[in-house]
Amino acid sequence: MYEIVKHIDFCFGHRLIDYQGKCNQPHGHNGRVEIRLASDTLDDMGMVADFRDVRHSIQAWIDEHLDHRMILRRDDPLVEAIEALGQHAYLIDNNPTTENLARLVFEQTQALGFPVIAVTLWETPDSYATYAPEPVSHGVNGRNATEQAVTRT
Ligand SMILES: [Zn+2]
80 is catalytic: no
Tell me the pLDDT tens digit for each residue of 12-63.
999 999 999 888 999 999 999 999 999 999 999 999 999 999 999 999 999 9
User: From the candidates 14, 23, 29, 34, which is the catalytic residue?
Assistant: 23
Residue 140 counted as domain residue: yes
Amino acid of residue 143:
R
Residue 57 counted as domain residue: yes
Residue 107 counted as domain residue: yes
**Structural domains of the chain, count:** 1
Residue 124 counted as domain residue: yes
Residue 152 counted as domain residue: no
Centre of ligand 1 to C-alpha 114, Å, is: 28
pTM here is: 0.88
Centre of ligand 1 to C-alpha 152, Å, is: 7
| Confidence tier at 135 by pLDDT (50, 70, 90) | confident
CATH assignment at residue 9: 3.30.479.10
Residue 6 counted as domain residue: yes
Centre of ligand 1 to C-alpha 92, Å, is: 15
Centre of ligand 1 to C-alpha 25, Å, is: 9
- State the residue range of the domain holding 90: 2-147
User: From the candidates 14, 29, 34, 123, which is the catalytic residue?
Assistant: 123
Contact between 122 and 110 under an 8 Å Cβ cutoff? The reply is no
User: From the candidates 27, 56, 68, 138, which is the catalytic residue?
Assistant: 68
SS3 for the chain is CEEEEEEEEEEEEECCCCCCCHHHCCEEEEEEEEEEEEECCCCCCCCCCCHHHHHHHHHHHHHHHCCCEEEEECCCCHHHHHHHCCCCCEEECCCCCHHHHHHHHHHHHHHCCCCEEEEEEEEECCEEEEECCCCCCCCCCCCCHHHCCCCCC
Residue 34 counted as domain residue: yes
Residue 67 counted as domain residue: yes
